[in-house]
Every structure is written in structure tokens, then in C-alpha cells.
Amino acid sequence: MADRRTTVLLSVLLFASAAAFVEELDDSFMETKGDDEIWLIKFYAPWCTFCKQLDPVWHQIGSEYRSLGSPVHVGKSDATANTGLAKEFRVRTYPAILMLKKNIKYNYSGVRTKDGIMDFANRIAGPLVRSLSSVQLFQHAMSRHDVMFVYVGATSPLKGNYTSVAEQLIVHTYFFSTSRDVLPKAVSLSTLPAVVVFKDGTYFTYSEERDGDLKLWINRERFPNFSQIDSYTLYAMGETGKLVLLALVEEKHLCEESLRYKSLLESVAAEHREIYSREMYFGFMAGSDYISGLVMGEIIVPTFIVVNLSNDGYFLPPGTVQTEQNLLDFLDGVLNGSMQGHGGNGALQRVRRLVYDTRVTLAPVFSHAPLLGCFLVAFPLTIGACFCYLCFKARPTVVDEDGTPLLAPPLGGHKKSKKKSD
């Protein structure tokens, strides 16, 4: 019993110690902070369950940054009490995670884990474009990043454009610069300066003539060609305008068919990159809950699906995919428009989604508390019925010229009654 009390006491003390490294911010923050201070801030609401779940992670981050002597200050603010500060940072949802550096605000939209948040904070806090001045530094960076953008060469208009893009996309990826002699000998560059992306065990050089706008190209290329995809990554991929081909597999203990689907997709992604990479990402997702919500129905795994998050649309194979050619035919049909699409964000589809979301939300309520579920459904319907009744009763009474009441004016206005003859 004494050991248990000691454990609980130590846990409380550790939590309190970690909490001491997270500052509570109020509406005076913008006037009192230093000009060169870098802040990582969580905006929360006291009633928000997800905010409370994030608290232990947030305190760990504050403690670790303090122990490392990092220039990043960690804070939190009750957005419901400090409405002025929340408005300054344009907080719309909870929890909201933002960074402030040189009066520029950066919004974090990734997974709410310690590693994900700290990687974002370290990226913002450091130099906009990080210099790789030696072979050792280059190799170290390569070992840490699946996708790496590198500017190669001296100062030029291209570097100015690259730096400008880095200011806008630093929330998503790192940016590096180096000289030609630091790159591996196997890297062949026809001209300098150049922007190169290293990923998938190879490299690709940016060409304005072929690839168009530099920002759009970097935004498209910032993901590996094939990877495991979660809901956050899928949403970010959708923002680039590309389609995403997913192999949906089990969350644990993949069956033989799931392994075949995953292997088949990885092979197509690698061998046909030049054909499909400009239009599509490839990856696999463990579990089907997120996609089931998108299609508003049950998805049986394993299966393939092409998702278009720009309009909430999706494509399913017309039959079983047994061979690589079956999968290629499916992809070609999606790209040339011959494959039937589903979903979308039209008016009818939005109504269907509203009904589906309502049903999914109320189903567990009816399961655990039927009376509460009935009340939640009946109450708004009753209010709506009363409103319609009152509107009906409040309609002005219309009478004919001879004093006879009419229920409603005839279409086209009132007709003049004929004058009676003597």
C-alpha cells in the first residue's frame, strides 16, 4: 500500500514539475513577449476532451525543451477566456497548435504526438534554409529525412525563389542548400544552380519547363512515392490536388491477400513512377474506418481505392484485382475518365453525408441510452413542427370583395370580381 502511495505521489510531482515548464498565456501576451522570442502555443477549451488528452504530451514537450536549453518557449492559453489572443491567432478549432517566430504565425495540422509536434517546432525554430557544408552533414541529413529538398549552387534568382517557397512551406518540410562538391559523385546535374529532391532511394531535378511553378512542384514532391498513410497524411496529400491510390489492409496481422495487395501496389509505384507520379500518390492504410466514413459505407479489406480529396470523390475497381495489368487498367480508367466515380461534394451528396454523420453520431447514443437518443431526435423535430405551425397560423387572412375569407391569394394576384347587374 505504501509503495502504491509513493508511486502516485511521484507521478503527481513529475506532472507538476513538467507543467511548470509550460506557461499560461493571456491576452497581454503579444505586448509582453520579446521581439526575438520563439513560442510554441496550444490553444484549448476547458470542456474539450482532445485538449485534455494532449496535456501530458504538451507538458513533456515543455520539459524536454527546457532541459535541452532550447530557444523555444512552450505555452498554452484558454481560448474561451483569452478571446483577444485567440482572435489574434485566428483560432477556430480546439486544440489549436501554432508557433510564433518574428511575428509570423505557423499553424500545425499534423498528428498530435510528441515527435510530430517537436519535429514541426524544430523545423520552424531553425534556419529557413539549412546549409550542408560538408559530406558528413549531407549524409547525416539524408539518413534522417525520407524526402529532402536541396538547392545546389551559388546565389541566383532561383535561390531567391527557393527561399521564398521555403517561407511558405517550412510548416511541411525541411529545406537545405549545399555546393556541388558535397553531393555524392553519382548525382549528375547538367546545369547549376539546381533544385534537387532526394527520395525513394534516388533523386529528381526540378525543371521549370517540365515541372512548372517551383512551389507547386515542391508541394507535389514532398511525400514519398510509396509509404504508409494515416488520416493526417492523406488529408495533406489531398491539399496538393493529387489523387491517392490506397491499398486498405488490416491494422494488425496482415493476411496473405493483404500482403499481395501491398506488394503489388509498391511494385506499380516504383516501376511506373514516370507515368503516374505527376497525378497520383501511392500508399497503404491500416484499417478502413477513415475511408468508410468517406464512402459512407462499410469497406471490406483488403481492397484498392483511389481517393480524390479535393472533392471527396473516390473510385473503386470494377472487379477483383489479380494482376499488375488489372491495377494499371484501373488507374488508366480513373485518369482518362472512363472509370465511374463515386461520392463528391454536390448538394445531394452533402445531404447524404449529413444524414450519415447524424446516424453514426446517434447510433452509440441509442445503443447505450435509448431514452436520451429519442430525446435528441424528437426535440429538434418538435421545435421544427412548432415553428411551421406558428408560421402557418401567423399568415394574414385574405378576404374576397364580398367578404368571403380565402386560405391563400390566388396565383397571379387577386382577380377582380364581376360587378353584379341590377
The H or E element containing residue 43 is strand 38-44
CA pair distance 82, 17, nearest whole angstrom: 25
Does the annotation mark 388 as catalytic? no
- Are 219 and 255 in contact by the 8 Å Cβ rule? The answer is no
CA pair distance 43, 34, nearest whole angstrom: 20
> How does DSSP assign 62-95, residue by residue?
HHHHHHHT-SEEEEEEETTT-HHHHHHTT--SSS
CA pair distance 175, 197, nearest whole angstrom: 10
Which listed residue (48, 374, 386, 391) is catalytic? 48
Does the annotation mark 51 as catalytic? yes
Cα of first residue to Cα of last residue in the chain, in angstroms, is: 110
- Closest by CA to 79, choosing from 33, 25, 34, is 25
CA distances for 2 relative to 6, 12, 13, 397, angstroms: 6, 15, 16, 81
CA pair distance 308, 279, nearest whole angstrom: 11
**Tally of helices (H runs) and strands (E runs) in the chain:** 16, 18
The single residue listed with the C-alpha cell 516504383 is 270
Nine cell digits for residue 281 = 500518390
CA pair distance 267, 133, nearest whole angstrom: 36
Which residues are 197's β-sheet partners?
Answer: 149, 204
CA distances for 179 relative to 130, 131, 154, 193, 202, angstroms: 12, 9, 8, 9, 18
> How does DSSP assign 137-198, residue by residue?
HHHHHHHH-SEEEEEESSS-HHHHHHHHHHHHHTTT--EEEE-GGGS-TT---SSSSEEEEE
Torsion of the alpha carbons at 51, 52, 57 and 60, rounded to the nearest 10: 120
- Residues assigned a catalytic role: 48, 51
